[in-house]
A and B are shown apart, each in its own frame.
Chain A
């Protein structure tokens, strides 16, 4: 959570003189190899991808291997079925360029047959609010100097809408873990009962690129600044929330949370082997501006 950073900054400030972080060599125990399924479908007329991979040892710095040879289909609640073609590299693609795979509110069931296992997962095609504006602001105080942006959008009425807000700088996705920006309704988390409001300021702020040094401007004149809101199911929110917490743990210093496994919604119908990953579907809204 964002507010955590406040005291962490304070803590770091205090202990700057004494504390140190260094990268170390460490032997980790080996774990069994597990299957990972990720599917983020949308209702755009474009290629839809499901990816099947295997886990690697934590320090194995190669790309996780794709699993080919699976049968991947998505069943629409109206009875139609979409077959995703094996690309041989772990990607399974359905070309939805002629018609969207589903409309908002429709139910989709993922069915996979892989390595003798039958896997399944479900998601509705979730709704998304429009982005009304991206407002550029020149800041000249304290830690922040330069051009900052805020996007404005109002969460849809009804509790339980979950979103992933993605920002692109000159078409480059801001992939720093600090930019991983998710929202439950327009707030941080489930159970905080904010609904139907404009996305709260810390979420609006997280769209700004992380700067290397204090006082550096996150955006420059002429930059193309694009924001997308991806609707997703609640399981995907909890999954991404956990992913983000793991990725940011090293910044939380002494307030780190223990490493936990991110909760998957992929069900193994064949045996009790856990399958990792997430399957979700949701609409996307987009807005872009040129920084002046």
Chain B
């Protein structure tokens, strides 16, 4: 805290000392719907200085009095310029539109942004939602997380696997934020679809490295998804009918240019379609998922703006009374933007987030088993951005998160006898304080340096267990326990996380960037299955579980050529991680009071080279990515105490994504991916225990072999509807797609099993089975519409 105050003080001191300056500030918005634009540029050509709008579309430039021309630009939009005679602080909003929609102002030919080279950020992937919508998708459903996997450094262990892996990290090392609230399980239907409704998403940004100090809490990446505010100019309805879901979103102004809302909903209808084919025995079968995304905002005045957003989604499986299983996330975010001055922007976020699942099975009231688990948190996060001058933007703030972990509330009823085998809830408080400065020099060098102080308290009410150090890799025995009262701290941790990035321009068209970041992670997903399952539980760092730490350095070369039509990005990185959670063989992870006795402490290292070549303009656009990477783990007691490849160690990862526009109505796109097979543990030998054949790995190795490589081609074609007249408010489009065009049976995994018993007493056969989650080509057709 003292640090922040002293920086603040120095900043204000600087203010006083510098020559008299005035500021130009305001919001940069989309002309057609009033949505604020994130990362748009306000640029003063005469000074060769500029600034990007922040997450709320706000920008502020402090300049000496004088006459200026200011250019506002954003990729895909027309650049507009405004003339300003600066004699006092000026509020200047800019609305950017597509060519035909720009009415007043001076029109400048759109320039492809040279952000790739000029911006300081490296290791960041931005996905434009319009691009995502054009990619071929499984069953025609536009998918954000699956689209991310076509970018360098982002992978998944296979179709149907929840989440994604960034630079060799596990899925729980990604902080997935939806309007700043963390989403603990980003998937519907295991990993086939993500929780993000593309119609409600405005901006998607993935930080794989060079993570600014304002973000914290996870080791590998931050996926920052921002929702649309809702059309503030007129009513807009978007929707789509596909084979799996239907979706509909409505957005409209509540008070023109002052308040607007968006409501977006999706529901799958497999069960509805299947209904008529199920006989009465199965009529109680439930099989669906849905989500609802809402947001509204209110412009109180020029200085204050409120946003309220929420998400609620659920996956349901049920077989009458016999068994039921459902899971889902709920999040709610309230944000208040306040301008203390034209140069001091603030935002306070309050959020609530919950992930929970429920499992129930039983025959009747006297024989049942009900089980649920959840992670719940509330948080407050004040943030300030001080636009000191065009060369220094200082951000500082903090965050407090209060967690409630419910690792398992389970009640079993056996013949009327009730037994509660629930585990105690766990509580924790995570606090963070940060300060960062984006420092631009006149010679084009940019620096971003910052420091984050994170603190974590594992709190009562609860019982702390103490374990004896056994032989590495074996179950530890409890040696003692201590109970703690409510809010009493059981264990405290504090970590300093320095962050640093630099950009050195080589010339107009190329630059070199480097970054270092340290990240700490205090909560861990407990999972030892190949793909994470919805029943995996989160656990805090405790007296037995250390916070995980990562240090990453990255170095990159960035070049644009052909008038910014082509972008080349090349990066190498090296990442070292400590205190990763691993498990002893045969660990029981669920409903186990003494889980911590089965955990092992591991370390990891990951390094790689990522390359991407992108074409931004023309009839043919798209990109090609290639990643050469390694991800390894070391755990005392596993793999004969030697380094071994992690589950996400995919050495080669190549992808090609391309779009071709024939004319105003027809466009096509294609994806191709090739990924080295993931490592797996295979047996070497067998032995018999009674009638069972036990697979055995005589070398005691982990991930000793690989499943075959994965490759796949997808194609899609889009036919846009024709407007019958200029006033036609309805625009529809048909999307035809084929996933896995050449029907590759890509293995998800290879399993070993006994064959069928042919005759009693006969020796069992053993066989290897390849599981292909998608073993065929999948054609689909969907219809999307927009009413505006």
Contacts and interface: CB of A to CB of B under 8 A. Distances in A.
Interface stretch (A101-109, A192-200, A281-289): A192-200
Interface stretch (B3-11, B334-342, B686-694): B686-694
Given A260-B585, A278-B689, A172 B766 contact: no
A14 B687 contact: no
Contact of B421 (A192, A201, A262): A192
B414 A197 contact: yes
A138 to B, nearest CB: 13
A7 B317 contact: yes
B771 A249 contact: no
Nearest to B416: A198
Nearest to B683: A58
Tier of interface size on chain B: 35 or more
A107 B533 CA distance: 42
Interface in B14-71: none
Given A61-B766, A192-B591, A199-B414, A175 B692 contact: yes
A254 B751 contact: no
B12 interface: no
B417 interface: yes
A235 B770 CA distance: 32
A259 B412 contact: no
A275 B718 CA distance: 63
A13 B317 CA distance: 10
B689 A38 contact: yes
B754 interface: yes
Interface stretch (B112-120, B164-172, B362-370): B362-370
B754 A177 contact: yes
A81 B692 CA distance: 31
B692 A32 contact: no
A191 B270 CA distance: 39
Contacts of B696: 31, 34, 55, 58, 261-262, 276
Contacts of A250: 751-753, 769, 771
A154 to B, nearest CB: 9
Nearest to B765: A61
Interface string B748-785: 11111110010010011111111111111010000000
B530 interface: yes
Interface string B204-245: 000000000000000000000000000000000000000000
Contacts of B753: 177, 247, 249-250
Contacts of A143: 281-282, 319, 322
A38 B190 CA distance: 40
Interface string A54-65: 111111111110
A201 B369 contact: yes
A181 to B, nearest CB: 13
B534 interface: yes
Nearest to A175: B691
B137 to A, nearest CB: 14
B684 A30 contact: yes
Interface string B129-141: 0000000000000
Contacts of A20: 745, 771-772, 775-776
A54 B765 CA distance: 17
Contacts of A243: 689, 692, 694
Contacts of B160: 11, 15, 254
Interface stretch (B96-104, B253-261, B699-707): B699-707
A224 interface: no
A254 B530 contact: yes
Nearest to B748: A254
B270 A14 contact: yes
A125 to B, nearest CB: 20
B585 A261 contact: yes
B494 interface: no
Given A18-B773, A31-B697, A193-B421, A247 B692 contact: yes
A143 B361 CA distance: 14
B534 A7 contact: yes
B697 A259 contact: yes
A61 B763 CA distance: 7
Interface in A150-203: 152, 172-173, 175-177, 180, 186-187, 189-194, 197-202
B645 interface: no
Nearest to A195: B419
Nearest to A10: B317
A252 B594 CA distance: 25
B776 A28 contact: no
A262 B686 contact: no
Contacts of A56: 685-687
A256 interface: yes
Interface string B587-603: 01011111100000000
A32 B686 CA distance: 11
B325 to A, nearest CB: 5
A258 B680 contact: yes
B161 interface: yes
Interface string A238-260: 10111101110110111111111
Given A59-B766, A175-B757, A250-B751, A18 B775 contact: yes
Given A31-B696, A257-B529, A198 B417 contact: yes
Nearest to A137: B363
A269 interface: no
A255 B530 contact: yes
A58 B694 contact: no
B1 interface: no
A194 B684 contact: no
A28 B767 CA distance: 12
Contacts of A142: 281-282, 284, 319-320, 322
A255 B529 contact: yes
Nearest to B286: A10
A192 B692 contact: no
B432 interface: no
B752 A259 contact: yes
Contacts of B322: 142-144
B323 A194 contact: no
Nearest to B705: A29
A48 interface: no
Interface in A63-78: 63-64
Given A252-B529, A254-B160, A1 B768 contact: no
Contacts of A276: 687, 696
Contacts of A13: 287
A257 B528 contact: yes
B408 to A, nearest CB: 9
Contact of A57 (B161, B684, B704): B684
Contacts of B705: 28-29
A74 to B, nearest CB: 19
A191 B776 contact: no
A36 B750 CA distance: 26
A54 B685 CA distance: 10
8 contacts: A18-B778, A29-B684, A31-B697, A142-B284, A192-B592, A194-B412, A249-B752, A261-B696
Given A201-B363, A246-B695, A254-B773, 14 more contacts: A6-B317, A14-B270, A22-B770, A23-B770, A143-B319, A173-B691, A177-B692, A191-B595, A254-B190, A255-B531, A257-B529, A259-B681, A260-B585, A260-B586
**Shortest beta-carbon contacts, A-B, top 4:** A31-B698, A31-B684, A20-B775, A191-B592
Interface of A: 1, 3-4, 6-7, 9-11, 13-15, 18-26, 28-34, 36, 38, 53-64, 141-144, 152, 172-173, 175-177, 180, 186-187, 189-194, 197-202, 215, 238, 240-243, 245-247, 249-250, 252-263, 274, 276-278
